[in-house]
Amino acid sequence: HFYGSRLPSIPEQLQWVHQIDIMVGMTGAGLAWSLAMRPGSYLVMIVPETTASSYETSYHDRQAIRVGLGLTVVFNDVKYNANVPRLWAAVNTTIQAWREREKRQPPTFPATGA
């Protein structure tokens, strides 16, 4: 990890998340971190394909809109047979939308390591 041997504090984590341009994550409680993102950033939410037919707007969808985030929802069987091309297509579409919206350079992703 990139903080050395200590875990970052909650304020440090919030500050780090606030710098993210695009967050990709599986639907669930972990997406609550998206509330710390800047307006104009994008969230790519991965939803299990098995729930696609019954999917309704989730808490995270509504919160993303309230805080001014762009949102991409992608349905994918991430547990057993992930459709990686579908996931990358969703991420690439989101990057293009983010670039158009903000007329920015390509997003930077924080370095992670073991």
Q: What is the per-residue burial (b if ≥16 Cβ within 10 Å, else e) of 29-53? A: eebebbebbeeebbbbbbbebeeee
Q: In this predicted model, which residue has the larger pLDDT, 52 or 72?
A: 72
Q: Tell me how far apart the alpha carbons of residues 93 and 60 are, in angstroms, rounded to a whole number.
A: 20
Q: Tell me how far apart the alpha carbons of residues 88 and 38 are, in angstroms, rounded to a whole number.
A: 23
Residue linked to tokens 């992930």: 82
What is the signed CA dihedral for 70, 93, 80, 55, rounded to 10 degrees?
Answer: 40
Contact call for residues 69 and 96 (beta carbons, < 8 A): no
pLDDT digits (tens, 9 = 90+) for 89-106: 888 888 888 778 766 555
pTM higher than the cut 0.85: no
Starting from the edge strand earliest in sequence, which strands make up the sheet with 42-48, in order?
22-26, 42-48, 70-76
Q: Tell me how far apart the alpha carbons of residues 41 and 64 are, in angstroms, rounded to a whole number.
A: 9
Please list the residues that pair with 99 across neighbouring strands. none
pLDDT digits (tens, 9 = 90+) for 21-60: 889 888 888 888 888 999 888 888 888 776 666 666 667 7
